[in-house]
C-alpha cells in the first residue's frame, strides 16, 4: 500500500513539474533562509559558552553614577580582583584580570624588519588559560603567564614574527624597551568569544610599569576583572557582598555613587548595552530578537505558500479523492496519502535547501563575519530534519483533513467547489502578503535609520582626518610633539594637527568634577586634547575661545559643551564663561557634537589640555591630522616619511576617522544588508506562491474564460477580471501590514537617541512594490490564460 | 436488498424548498436489473447518488441489506464501498494519473486484498475485457468506449453485490454502448449482480427487468420489461 502511495506521489510530483518546482524551491528557500538565520542566532546566543566553567564565571563592572551622569564601565580598578579573592574566600575560587595600558596598540618586534603594531595585545593573568578555557597549543597553562616579561602568541601572530619556526623561548621586543620571552602558543580565539587576543603579556610585567597608586588605588579602573564562583554559590551572594567592598576600599569621592554590577560570562556579548571600555563592539540582543522574528516570518511565508499550493493542487485532485472514496478509500488512508505527499515534497525541499546552503555558505560567512562550516549543518542536522518534516506535516495537514472530509458526490459530480472562494486560502494569501509588506516597510525604515547613523551631522567634520596612535612613543612629550607638528604643517597638504585622548566619536573617558556653585562631586565625560582640536575637527564655538598655542596660559582652562551648560543650569553660553570646574576656568563653550556614538544622547563634556609631559604622555594617545582631500596619497606619503625620521621606535600606522566610525556602525550596516537580502527572499517566496496559486486557480477557470471569450470578451477585460481578485487581497494585506509595521518600527527606533521619523512614502513604496510584484506575477498568468484558444479550454470539459 | 421509504431531497432556496425528490418509495430485490428513466431534472441522478450513499436524503428511510443507511457513519459507508457497491459513471471518472492496471488495482488495495490475488483478479478481468495490451496505458490514451470498459471492470473488481451506473453509455457510440450493456446483462444473468442504472435510452433500459419512471421527483410509474 505505502509503496503504491510513494509511487503515485513521485509520479504526481513529476507530472506537475512546474508546480512541483515552485513548491519545492519556495519551501527550500524558506528553509535555507530560516536555517541560516537560526545559525546566526544560535551563534550569537552561544557566545562564551565554550568555556567549561562559563556558568560560574562573572565579570565585575563598575558604575559610577551621580545625578544622571557618570560612567558605566566594563573594567574595574586593578586592585579589585585580588581584593575580592582575599575578602570573599568563601564565595570565590579564582579571579583573572586582563588590561591594556591606555593605548590602542603596542609595537612588538623581532628584528627591525619584523615590527608590527598589535591592537589585540592584552596583559593577562594565568587564569586566561586555567580559569577560562582558551586553548594553549604549547606551553604550560599554569605557568606560562606567571613570570614577568612572558608572552603568549596565537598561531597567526607567531607566524608574523617567526614564520614557521618554533617560537617557544624566543624573544620579542616590546615598545622598543623591554624583552619578552615567548612561553606559549595559543590556538586562535573562537569567533563566539567576547574577547579575541593575538598576544598576551604576563600581567606581572606591569609591576614595574605602573606606580603604586595606579596598582593599589581604587579610582582608575583599567582592568577587566573576572571571578570564578565556588561550586553551588549563587551569584546573588556575590552581589550582596559587593557594596561592602565598595564602602571598605573605594575612595571617598566616588564611594557613594559607585556600584559593581556583575555580568554572567555568557551574558556579556548580548547584554552589555551602555557599557564603555569594552574589548570590542558586542552584539545586541535586540538584533537577535529581530532576526529570530524574521526567521520565523520567512518560514511562515514559506509554509503558507506550501499550504496554499498543496491545497490548490488537491482541489485539482478533488475528483480523484471523491473517486477513491467510492472505491473504498477510508478517510485515514486518504489523509495518510496526502500527508505523505506533502512530507515527500518537504523532504525534497529540505535536500534542495541543504544544497543551496552549501553554495551560499561563503557569502553568508562574509556577510556576517562568522565562520560557519558544513559541520554546523550536521550538528544541527536533527533540528533541520525535524523542522523540515514538521513543515511538511503542517502544510499537508490542512488540505489532507479539509479535502478528505468532502462528500464524494460533490467531487464526482465534477463539483469545483472551494477554489478561490475558499476563505481560508484567501486569508492565507493575505497573511503572506501582509508579512512581506511589513518586512519591506521594516527594511526601509531600518536602512534609512542606518544611513542616518552613518551620515548624520555629528557636529564635527570626520572626513579627511587621519588618526595615529602616539602613546609612549617619541612624540609623547609636549615639545617633541610640537616640533613634529611644526614640521608637518610646513607642507600645505597638511591642514591641521592636534592630539587627543580617544578617537573622536568612538570612545571617551570620565573624570570627577566639582562645578562652581554646586556642592557635590560629579562624573562627567572628559577628553584631553591638544590645542588645535576644535579647528582640526571643525567644531564650532558657541562662545569664548579655543585653546591657545601657549599651553602655560591654558594649563588651568577648560572648554565645555552646551550640554554641560544646560546640565549645570548655567544659562547661556556667554554666562558660562569664567565659571569654574575644579577651580579651572571655562574659556569656551563648544556647540554640541557627538563625541560618543549616535546610540546615546550627547552628554555634558569637559575638554582639557595636558599641562606637563606626564599628563601629555598619559592622557594623549592619538594624533589627529587633517589632510587636504585633493591629494591624499601624497599627504600620507609625506606624513609617513616625516614619521619614520622622527619616530623610529614605532611603526607608522594610521586609520581614517570615518573608517573607524564605519566600524562603529558596522553591525548595523551589516544587519541592514542581511535584512535586505532576507526580505528580498521572503518577497520572492511570496511571489512564487502567488504564481503557483494563480496558475492553479486560473486553470480552474479555464472553462469560464473560454465561455467569456466566445461571448466576445477582450483579452484585456479578462485579464483585468482575473487579476483584480488577487489585487484585492494584496490591498487588504497592505492595510493590515502598515499600522502593524508602523507600531513595531516606532518602538524599534525608540532605542536610538538619534533617529529618523517614519515617513508616509515608506508605506507607499512598500505598497507599490507589493502591488507591482502581484500584478506582474498574476498578470502574466492571466494574460496567458486569456490568450488561450477558447476551443482548447471548452474541450477540456 | 434496497428499501426506500418516503425518500425526500430538497434544497433550501431562500425561504422556499426546491424539491428534487418527493415521496420516493421503491423496493429492489437482490438479482434485479433496474433502470431509472425520466426527463432532465426529474431527479434520476440524485436518486442514484442516494442509492450509492454519495448523497443523503433530507427525509425518509433507506434500508440496505436490512440496515438503515441513514444511521451509517462515514466508516460504515466506506465499508459498503469496499464490500458491496461498484460505480460506473457517465464521464468514466478514471483516475487520470494512474494506468489502467493501477486504476483496477486501487479498490483492491483499499480492500487489503493480498498481492497475488490482486494480480490474478486483475489479469482475469483484463482478459475478459480484452484489455491485456492496454494495461500500462493512461486513461487519456484510450478511447471513450475503452475507458468505460475500464470503468466497468473497476466496478467489478471488488466483486460487489450492487452496481450503480449513471448513464454508463451516455458518452458512447451505439456499438460501444451495446458492448457495455451486454456486459451488464451477462453480469446480471450469470453472476447474479444487482444492477441499477440511470439512462435516457429506451433500448438500454430494455436490458433490465424493470423500469422506474421518474417525473418531477416522484416515481410516476413502474414498468416490467418483457423479454
Residue A794 has pLDDT above 80, yes or no: no
- Looking at the domain assignment, is residue A548 inside a domain? yes
Mutate to test the interface with A, among B20, B109, B114, B154 (most CBs of A within 10 A): B109
CB contacts of B82 in chain A (<8 Å) are: 328
Q: How far is A372 from chain B (nearest CA, A)?
A: 44
Question: Which three-class secondary structure state does DSSP give residue B111?
Answer: coil
A460-496 confidence digits (pLDDT tens): 888 888 988 887 777 778 888 888 888 899 988 899 9
A327 to chain B, any CB pair closer than 8 A? The answer is: yes
Residue A84 has pLDDT above 90, yes or no: yes
Point out the least confidently predicted range of A276-290, A305-319, B112-126, B129-143: A305-319
* Percent of chain A predicted with pLDDT > 70: 93
Point out the least confidently predicted range of A528-537, A565-574, A679-688, B210-219: A679-688
CB contacts of B109 in chain A (<8 Å) are: 1, 4
ipTM of the complex: 0.75
Which pairs from A179-183 meet CB under 8 Å and 24+ separation?
Answer: A179/A149, A180/A108, A180/A149, A180/A150, A180/A151, A180/A205, A181/A149, A181/A150, A181/A151, A182/A150, A182/A151, A182/A152, A182/A153, A182/A158, A183/A139, A183/A140, A183/A143, A183/A144, A183/A145, A183/A147, A183/A150, A183/A151, A183/A152
Q: How many CB pairs under 8 A join A and B?
A: 63
Angstrom CA distances, A214 to A269, A574, A612, A620, stand at 29, 38, 19, 18
Closest residue in B to A796 (Cα) is B140
Bridge partners (DSSP) listed for residue A258:
A64
The mean pLDDT of B187-191, rounded to a whole number, is 90
What pLDDT sits at residue A51?
Answer: 93
A100-138 confidence digits (pLDDT tens): 876 667 888 887 678 888 889 999 999 999 899 999 999
The number of beta carbons lying within 10 Å of the beta carbon of residue B108 is 22
Q: How far is A327 from chain B (nearest CA, A)?
A: 5
Residue A415 has pLDDT above 50, yes or no: no
Mutate to test the interface with B, among A328, A412, A414, A797 (most CBs of B within 10 A): A328
Using pLDDT thresholds of 50, 70 and 90, give the confidence band for residue A416: very low
Q: How far is A330 from chain B (nearest CA, A)?
A: 6
What pLDDT sits at residue A418?
Answer: 43
A26-39 confidence digits (pLDDT tens): 888 888 888 888 88
Residue A668 has pLDDT above 80, yes or no: no
- Looking at the domain assignment, is residue A483 inside a domain? yes
The mean pLDDT of A595-606, rounded to a whole number, is 82
Residue A671 has pLDDT above 80, yes or no: no
- Domain extents in chain B: 2-224
The number of beta carbons lying within 10 Å of the beta carbon of residue A712 is 7
- Looking at the domain assignment, is residue A400 inside a domain? no
What pLDDT sits at residue A118?
Answer: 87
The mean pLDDT of A381-392, rounded to a whole number, is 83
- Cβ contact B158–A328 (<8 Å): yes
Q: Which of residues 370-429 of A touch B (CB under 8 A)?
A: 407-409, 412-414
The mean pLDDT of A189-208, rounded to a whole number, is 91
A324 to chain B, any CB pair closer than 8 A? The answer is: yes
Of B75, B87, B91, nearest to A326 by CB-CB distance is B87
What pLDDT sits at residue A21?
Answer: 85
- Cβ contact A11–B74 (<8 Å): no
What pLDDT sits at residue A420?
Answer: 43
- Looking at the domain assignment, is residue A579 inside a domain? yes
Using pLDDT thresholds of 50, 70 and 90, give the confidence band for residue A792: low
The number of beta carbons lying within 10 Å of the beta carbon of residue A462 is 19
- Secondary structure in 3-state letters for A422-476: CHHHHHHHHHHHHHHHHHHHHHHHHHHHHHHHHHCCCCCCCCCEEEEECCCCHHH
- Looking at the domain assignment, is residue A513 inside a domain? yes
A676-715 confidence digits (pLDDT tens): 787 777 777 777 777 776 777 677 677 677 777 666 677 7
- Cβ contact A409–B54 (<8 Å): yes
CB contacts of B107 in chain A (<8 Å) are: 327-328
Q: How far is B116 from chain A (nearest CA, A)?
A: 14
- Looking at the domain assignment, is residue A487 inside a domain? yes
Q: How far is A288 from chain B (nearest CA, A)?
A: 48
The mean pLDDT of A366-395, rounded to a whole number, is 80
What pLDDT sits at residue A122?
Answer: 94
Mutate to test the interface with B, among A326, A415, A416, A797 (most CBs of B within 10 A): A326
Range of the domain at A554: 471-646
A129-175 confidence digits (pLDDT tens): 989 999 999 999 889 999 999 999 999 999 989 988 899 999 999 88
What pLDDT sits at residue B27?
Answer: 92
A711 to chain B, any CB pair closer than 8 A? The answer is: no
CB contacts of A408 in chain B (<8 Å) are: 54
CB contacts of B57 in chain A (<8 Å) are: none
Q: How far is B168 from chain A (nearest CA, A)?
A: 14
The mean pLDDT of A729-748, rounded to a whole number, is 89
Structural domain count, chain A: 1
The mean pLDDT of A623-646, rounded to a whole number, is 88
What pLDDT sits at residue A151?
Answer: 94
Fold of B2-224: Rossmann fold (3.40.50)
- Cβ contact B74–A331 (<8 Å): yes
* Per-position DSSP letters for A98-121, written without gaps between them: EE--S-S-EEEESSTTSEEEESSE
Q: Report d(CA A581, CA A560) in Å as an integer.
A: 10
What pLDDT sits at residue A315?
Answer: 65
β-pair type (A622-627, A655-656) = unpaired
Q: How far is B202 from chain A (nearest CA, A)?
A: 24
CB contacts of A325 in chain B (<8 Å) are: 78, 81
Using pLDDT thresholds of 50, 70 and 90, give the confidence band for residue B126: very high
The mean pLDDT of A756-770, rounded to a whole number, is 87
What pLDDT sits at residue A712?
Answer: 67
Closest residue in A to B155 (Cα) is A327
- Cβ contact A333–B110 (<8 Å): yes
More confident residue, A308 or A28: A28
- Cβ contact B107–A412 (<8 Å): no
Using pLDDT thresholds of 50, 70 and 90, give the confidence band for residue B70: confident
What pLDDT sits at residue A133?
Answer: 92
- Looking at the domain assignment, is residue A503 inside a domain? yes
pTM: 0.72
Q: Is A636 exposed, middle or buried (0-12, 13-18, 19+ CB in 10 A)?
A: middle
Q: Is A213 exposed, middle or buried (0-12, 13-18, 19+ CB in 10 A)?
A: exposed
Of B55, B96, B107, nearest to A327 by CB-CB distance is B107
Residue A342 has pLDDT above 80, yes or no: yes
What pLDDT sits at residue A198?
Answer: 94
Q: How far is B77 from chain A (nearest CA, A)?
A: 9
Q: Report d(CA A603, CA A582) in Å as an integer.
A: 19
CB A61 within 8 A of CB A347: no
CB contacts of B111 in chain A (<8 Å) are: 328
Using pLDDT thresholds of 50, 70 and 90, give the confidence band for residue B5: very high
Point out the least confidently predicted range of A325-334, A593-602, A707-716, B15-24: A707-716
More confident residue, A212 or A618: A212
Using pLDDT thresholds of 50, 70 and 90, give the confidence band for residue A419: very low
* Percent of chain B predicted with pLDDT > 90: 38
Q: How far is B55 from chain A (nearest CA, A)?
A: 6
Instruction: Write phi, then psi, for A418 (nearest 5 degrees).
Output: 70, -115
A328 to chain B, any CB pair closer than 8 A? The answer is: yes
Amino acid at each position: 500500500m505505502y509503496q503504491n502511495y510513494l509511487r503515485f506521489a513521485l509520479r504526481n510530483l513529476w507530472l506537475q513539474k512546474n508546480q512541483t518546482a515552485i513548491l519545492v524551491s519556495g519551501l527550500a528557500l524558506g528553509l535555507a533562509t530560516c536555517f541560516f538565520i537560526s545559525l546566526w542566532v544560535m551563534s550569537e546566543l552561544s557566545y562564551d559558552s565554550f568555556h567549561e566553567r562559563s556558568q560560574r564565571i562573572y565579570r565585575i563592572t563598575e558604575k559610577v553614577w551621580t545625578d544622571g551622569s557618570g560612567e558605566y564601565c566594563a573594567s574595574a580598578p586593578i586592585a579589585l580582583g585580588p581584593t575580592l579573592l582575599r575578602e570573599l574566600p568563601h564565595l570565590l575560587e579564582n579571579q583573572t584580570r586582563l588590561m591594556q595600558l591606555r593605548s590602542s596598540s603596542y609595537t612588538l618586534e623581532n628584528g627591525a624588519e619584523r615590527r608590527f603594531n598589535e591592537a589585540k595585545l592584552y596583559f593577562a593573568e594565568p587564569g586566561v588559560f586555567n580559569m577560562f578555557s582558551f586553548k594553549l597549543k604549547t606551553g604550560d597553562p599554569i605557568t606560562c603567564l606567571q613570570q614577568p616579561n612572558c608572552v603568549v602568541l596565537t598561531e597567526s601572530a607567531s607566524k608574523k614574527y617567526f614564520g614557521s619556526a618554533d617560537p617557544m623561548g624566543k624573544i620579542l621586543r616590546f615598545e622598543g624597551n623591554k624583552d619578552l620571552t615567548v612561553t606559549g602558543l595559543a590556538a586562535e580565539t573562537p569567533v563566539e568569544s567576547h574577547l579575541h587576543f593575538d598576544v598576551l603579556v604576563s600581567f606581572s610585567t606591569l609591576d614595574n610599569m605602573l606606580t603604586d597608586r595606579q596598582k593599589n588605588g581604587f579610582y582608575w579602573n583599567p582592568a577587566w576583572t573576572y571571578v570564578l564562583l565556588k561550586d553551588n554559590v549563587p551569584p546573588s551572594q556575590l552581589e550582596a557582598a559587593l557594596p561592602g567592598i565598595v564602602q571598605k576600599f573605594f575612595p571617598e569621592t566616588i564611594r557613594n555613587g559607585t556600584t559593581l554590577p556583575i555580568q554572567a560570562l555568557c551574558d556579556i556579548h548580548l547584554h552589555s548595552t551602555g557599557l564603555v571600555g569594552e574589548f570590542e563592539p558586542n552584539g545586541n540582543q535586540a538584533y537577535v530578537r529581530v532576526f529570530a522574528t524574521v526567521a520565523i516570518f520567512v518560514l511562515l511565508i514559506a509554509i503558507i505558500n506550501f499550504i496554499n499550493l498543496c491545497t490548490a493542487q488537491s482541489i485539482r485532485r478533488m475528483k480523484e479523492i471523491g473517486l477513491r472514496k467510492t472505491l473504498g478509500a477510508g478517510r485515514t488512508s486518504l489523509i495518510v496519502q496526502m500527508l505523505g505527499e506533502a512530507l515527500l515534497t518537504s523532504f525534497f525541499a529540505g535536500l534542495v535547501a541543504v544544497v543551496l546552503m552549501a553554495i551560499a555558505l561563503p557569502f553568508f560567512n562574509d556577510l556576517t563575519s562568522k565562520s560557519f562550516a558544513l559541520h554546523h549543518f550536521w550538528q544541527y542536522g536533527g533540528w533541520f530534519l525535524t523542522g523540515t518534516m514538521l513543515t511538511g506535516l503542517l502544510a499537508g495537514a490542512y488540505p489532507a483533513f479539509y479535502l478528505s472530509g468532502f462528500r464524494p458526490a460533490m467531487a464526482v459530480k465534477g463539483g469545483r467547489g472551494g477554489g478561490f472562494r475558499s476563505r481560508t486560502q484567501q486569508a492565507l494569501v493575505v497573511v503572506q502578503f501582509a508579512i512581506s509588506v511589513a518586512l519591506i516597510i521594516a527594511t526601509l525604515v531600518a536602512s534609512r535609520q542606518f544611513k542616518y547613523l552613518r551620515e548624520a551631522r555629528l557636529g564635527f567634520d570626520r572626513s579627511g582626518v587621519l588618526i595615529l596612535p602616539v602613546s609612549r612613543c617619541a612624540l609623547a612629550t609636549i615639545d617633541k610633539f610640537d616640533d613634529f607638528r611644526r614640521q608637518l604643517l610646513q607642507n600645505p597638504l597638511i591642514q591641521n594637527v592636534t592630539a587627543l585622548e580617544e578617537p573622536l566619536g568612538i570612545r571617551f573617558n570620565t573624570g570627577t568634577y566639582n562645578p562652581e556653585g554646586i556642592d557635590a562631586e560629579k562624573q562627567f565625560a572628559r577628553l584631553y586634547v591638544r590645542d588645535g582640536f576644535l579647528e582640526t575637527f571643525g567644531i564650532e564655538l558657541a562662545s569664548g575661545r579655543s585653546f591657545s598655542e601657549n599651553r602655560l596660559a591654558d594649563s588651568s582652562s577648560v572648554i565645555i559643551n552646551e550640554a554641560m551648560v544646560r546640565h549645570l543650569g548655567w544659562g547661556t553660553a556667554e554666562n558660562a564663561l569664567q565659571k569654574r570646574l575644579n577651580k579651572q576656568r571655562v574659556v569656551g563653550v563648544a556647540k554640541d557634537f557627538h563625541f560618543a556614538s549616535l546610540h546615546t544622547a550627547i552628554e555634558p563634556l569637559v575638554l582639557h589640555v595636558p599641562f606637563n609631559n606626564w599628563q601629555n604622555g598619559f592622557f594623549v594617545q592619538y594624533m589627529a591630522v587633517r589632510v587636504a582631500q585633493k591629494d591624499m596619497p601624497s599627504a600620507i606619503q609625506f606624513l609617513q616619511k616625516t614619521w619614520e625620521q622622527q619616530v623610529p621606535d614605532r611603526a607608522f600606522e594610521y586609520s581614517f576617522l570615518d573608517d573607524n566610525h564605519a566600524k562603529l556602525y558596522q553591525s548595523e550596516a551589516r544587519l541592514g544588508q542581511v535584512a535586505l537580502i532576507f526580505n528580498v527572499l521572503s518577497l520572492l517566496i511570496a511571489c512564487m506562491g502567488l504564481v503557483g496559486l494563480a496558475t492553479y486557480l486560473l486553470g480552474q477557470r479555464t472553462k469560464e474564460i473560454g465561455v467569456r471569450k466566445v461571448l466576445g470578451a477582450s483579452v484585456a477585460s479578462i485579464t483585468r477580471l482575473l487579476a483584480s481578485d488577487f489585487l484585492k487581497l494584496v490591498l487588504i494585506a497592505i492595510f493590515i501590514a502598515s499600522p502593524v509595521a508602523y507600531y513595531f518600527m516606532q518602538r524599534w527606533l525608540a532605542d536610538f537617541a538619534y533617529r529618523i521619523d517614519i515617513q508616509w512614502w515608506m508605506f507607499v513604496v512598500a505598497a507599490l512594490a507589493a502591488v507591482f510584484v502581484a500584478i506582474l506575477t498574476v498578470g502574466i498568468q492571466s494574460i496567458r490564460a486569456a490568450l488561450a484558444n477558447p476551443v482548447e479550454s471548452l474541450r477540456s470539459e | 436488498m434496497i428499501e426506500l421509504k418516503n425518500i425526500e431531497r430538497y434544497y433550501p432556496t431562500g425561504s422556499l424548498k426546491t424539491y428534487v425528490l418527493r415521496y420516493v418509495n421503491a423496493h429492489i430485490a437482490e438479482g434485479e436489473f433496474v433502470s431509472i428513466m425520466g426527463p432532465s431534472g426529474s431527479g434520476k441522478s440524485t436518486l442514484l447518488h442516494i442509492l450509492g450513499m454519495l448523497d443523503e436524503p433530507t427525509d425518509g428511510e433507506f434500508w440496505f441489506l436490512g440496515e438503515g443507511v441513514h444511521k451509517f457513519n462515514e466508516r460504515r459507508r466506506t465499508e459498503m464501498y469496499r464490500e458491496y457497491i461498484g460505480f460506473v459513471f457517465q464521464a468514466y471518472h478514471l483516475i487520470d494519473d494512474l494506468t489502467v492496471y493501477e486504476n483496477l488495482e486501487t479498490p483492491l488495495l483499499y480492500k487489503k486484498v493480498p498481492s497475488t490475488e490482486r494480480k490474478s483478479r486483475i489479469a482475469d478481468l483484463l482478459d475478459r475485457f480484452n484489455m491485456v495490451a492496454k494495461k500500462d496505458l493512461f486513461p487519456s490514451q484510450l478511447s471513450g468506449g475503452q475507458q468505460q470498459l475500464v470503468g466497468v471492470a473497476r466496478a467489478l473488481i471488488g466483486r460487489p453485490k450492487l452496481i450503480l451506473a449513471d448513464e454508463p453509455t451516455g458518452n458512447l457510440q451505439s456499438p460501444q454502448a451495446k458492448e457495455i450493456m451486454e456486459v451488464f446483462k451477462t453480469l446480471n444473468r450469470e453472476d447474479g449482480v444487482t444492477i441499477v442504472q440511470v439512462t435516457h435510452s429506451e433500448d438500454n433500459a430494455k436490458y433490465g427487468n424493470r423500469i422506474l419512471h421518474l417525473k418531477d421527483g416522484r416515481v410516476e410509474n413502474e414498468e416490467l420489461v418483457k423479454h
